[in-house]
Structure 1
Amino acid sequence: MDSRLALAAVVCAIVLCATPAALAQTVQVWTRGGRAYSLTCYTRFEVVPFYRPPNATSLVVAAASPATPPALQPTESGVSTIAAVLLVMSCIIVVVKSRSRAKFEMIIGKNSNRKENIEELLDNYGSLAPKRYKYSQLKDMTGSFSEKLGEGGYGTVYKGTLPDGNPVAVKFLHDLTSNGEEFVNEVISIRRTSHINVVTLVGFCLGASKRALIYEYMPNGSLDKFIYAENSKITLGWDKLYEIATGIARGLEYLHRGCNTRIIHFDIKPHNILLDHDFVPKIADFGLAKLCNPKESYLSMAGMRGTIGFIAPEVFSRRFGVVSTKSDVYSYGMMLLEMVGGRKNLKSSVENPSEMYFPDWIYRCLADLGSLHTFDMEYETEEIARKMAVIGLWCIQVSPNSRPTMSKVLDMFEKSADELEIPPKHCFYSAIQ
Structure 2
Amino acid sequence: MGLFKRIGSFFGAKGGPQVIDTPEKLAQALGAGYETHSGQRVTTSSALQQLVVFNCVRVLSESIGMLPCRLLKQTGRFRLPATGHRLYPLLTMAPNSFMTSQEFWEMLVACLCLRGNFFAYKVMALGNVVELLPLNPDIVIPKLKDDWTVEYTVNFKTGQRVLTQDEIWHVRLFTLDGLNGLNPIAYARQALGLGQAMDTHAAKLFTNGAVTSGVLQTEQTLTDEAFARLKTEFQGEHMGVANAYKPMILEMGLDWKPISLNAQDTQFIESKKMSEAQICGLFRVPPHLVASMEKMTLNNIEHMGMSFVNYSLVPLMTRIEHRIQVGLLSEKDRLTHYAKFNAGALMRGDLKGRYESYGKGIQWGILSPNDCRELEDENPREGGDIYLTPMNMTTKPESSDADKTKA
* Superposition TM-score, scaled by structure 1 size: 0.22
Determine which structure has the larger strand proportion and give its number.
2
* Superposition TM-score, scaled by structure 2 size: 0.23
Larger RCO, structure (CA 8 Å, separation 6 or more): 2
